[in-house]
């Protein structure tokens, strides 16, 4: 199976060399790697071009957007720019961050998951961060969720869900829509990916309400949002974030913010979330 990788990158000179090296060392190489240099002011572009000279499947494209790093919108807009530079001859499309080190068998294993079951729509491993000289699971989500840093999609599933949404919550809505369309989401605990820059390290203060807005945009409703907000705030070990998330939810609700999903999909998502919560409780 042929896979294409798109990498949004903004000022990643400290890490992108390691990411690209881990990709060119894969046991099954990608057919294309598109790095989208999103208005970087460092040496990101130079590093990518050096790799492109040695590996013809790597290319660099440029995008100019605001430097403000709000979660979701900036990175997916860069991903969309990368999509303009690929053809339709792929089987799997992959969005990754520019601060990851993949094990050599990562994509060989991901491809095996897709080949083993034609109903698998998404597959991925897990992000680990360095703590006290040890690599530990970056435990921000459940183990049945694929982190936004390393998403691999079967082409048919990717197109059916309508691609990626340029808003916070994109990396949850994609999985929920896969389930809506009866695609399976597969996570593989053997695939340990080193995440060199912890999630949210560059987000500014304006981003703190975005999580609550994202819960609203997914059609969660207040009570599911409250439970999800509390759970996430405790996981981050910052309980007061719960208040920011709830404020963000009400801000979106009072402004009648547009949902990322249709009404029918929102009803499915709400029912699915309640079902999963009940399963964990009982």
State the pairing for strand pair 58-63/3-9.
unpaired
Residues sharing a CB contact under 8 Å with residue 181, sequence separation 6 or more, in sequence order: 121, 157, 160, 161
- The Cα 54–Cα 56 span in angstroms is 6
Query: Residues 40-81: pLDDT tens digits?
Result: 999 999 999 999 999 999 999 999 876 555 666 789 999 999
**In this predicted structure, what is the pLDDT of residue 270?**
92
Query: Residues 89-102: pLDDT tens digits?
Result: 999 999 999 999 99
The H or E element that residue 123 is part of is strand 120-131
Average pLDDT estimate for 146-155: 96
Q: Which of 36-40, 112-116, 207-211 has the highest mean pLDDT?
A: 112-116
**In this predicted structure, what is the pLDDT of residue 184?**
97
* pLDDT > 70? residue 162: yes
Assigned token pair, 57: 């499947």
CATH of domain 3-195: 3.90.550.10
Tokens 């916070």, located at residue: 168
**In this predicted structure, what is the pLDDT of residue 167?**
87
**In this predicted structure, what is the pLDDT of residue 192?**
96
**In this predicted structure, what is the pLDDT of residue 142?**
75
- Phi/psi for 143 (5° steps) reads -75, 0
Per the confidence metrics, is the pTM higher than 0.75?
yes
Assigned token pair, 184: 């399976």
- The Cα 209–Cα 205 span in angstroms is 9
* Residue % of the chain over a pLDDT of 90: 70
CB 206 within 8 A of CB 160: no
Q: Which of 25-34, 245-254, 271-280 has the highest mean pLDDT?
A: 25-34
Assigned token pair, 40: 């970087």
* pLDDT > 80? residue 272: yes
**In this predicted structure, what is the pLDDT of residue 72?**
67
**In this predicted structure, what is the pLDDT of residue 258?**
87
When pLDDT is cut at 50, 70 and 90, the band that residue 37 belongs to is: very high
Dump strand ranges (E) for the chain: 3-9, 32-38, 58-63, 92-96, 100-101, 120-131, 134-137, 150-154, 184-195
CB 31 within 8 A of CB 2: yes
- Helix (H/G/I), strand (E/B), else coil: 128: strand
Assigned token pair, 93: 């499309």
When pLDDT is cut at 50, 70 and 90, the band that residue 238 belongs to is: confident
- Phi/psi for 58 (5° steps) reads -100, 135
Domain boundaries, the chain: 3-195, 205-281
**In this predicted structure, what is the pLDDT of residue 81?**
96
Q: Give the mean pLDDT of the chain.
A: 91
Half-sphere exposure in the Cβ direction for 139 (13 Å, CA): 9
**In this predicted structure, what is the pLDDT of residue 197?**
86
When pLDDT is cut at 50, 70 and 90, the band that residue 231 belongs to is: confident
Positive or negative, the CA dihedral 97, 160, 167, 173 is negative
């Amino acid at each position: 199976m042929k896979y294409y990788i798109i990498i949004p990158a903004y000022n990643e000179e400290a890490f992108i060399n390691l990411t690209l090296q881990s990709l060119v060392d894969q046991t099954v190489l990608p057919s294309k790697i598109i790095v989208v240099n999103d208005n970087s002011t460092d040496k990101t572009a130079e590093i990518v071009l050096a790799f492109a000279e040695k590996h013809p499947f790597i290319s660099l494209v440029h995008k100019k957007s605001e430097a403000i790093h709000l979660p979701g919108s900036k990175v997916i807009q860069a991903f969309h720019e990368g999509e303009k530079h690929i053809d339709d001859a792929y089987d799997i499309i992959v969005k990754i961050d520019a601060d990851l080190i993949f094990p050599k068998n990562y994509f060989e294993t991901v491809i095996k998951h897709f080949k083993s079951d034609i109903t698998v729509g998404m597959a991925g491993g897990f992000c680990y961060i360095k703590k006290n000289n040890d690599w530990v699971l970056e435990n921000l989500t459940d183990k049945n969720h694929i982190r936004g840093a390393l998403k691999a999609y079967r082409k048919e599933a990717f197109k059916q869900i309508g691609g990626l949404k340029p808003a916070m919550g994109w990396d949850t809505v994609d999985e929920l829509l896969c389930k809506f369309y009866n695609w399976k989401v597969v996570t593989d605990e053997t695939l340990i990916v080193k995440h060199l820059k912890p999630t949210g390290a560059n987000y500014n203060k304006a981003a703190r309400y975005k999580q609550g807005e994202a819960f609203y945009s997914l059609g969660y409703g207040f009570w599911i949002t409250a439970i999800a907000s509390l759970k996430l705030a405790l996981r981050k070990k910052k309980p007061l974030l719960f208040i920011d998330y709830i404020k963000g939810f009400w801000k979106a609700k009072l402004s009648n913010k547009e949902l990322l999903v249709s009404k029918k999909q929102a009803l499915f998502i709400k029912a699915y979330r309640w079902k999963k919560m009940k399963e964990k409780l009982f």
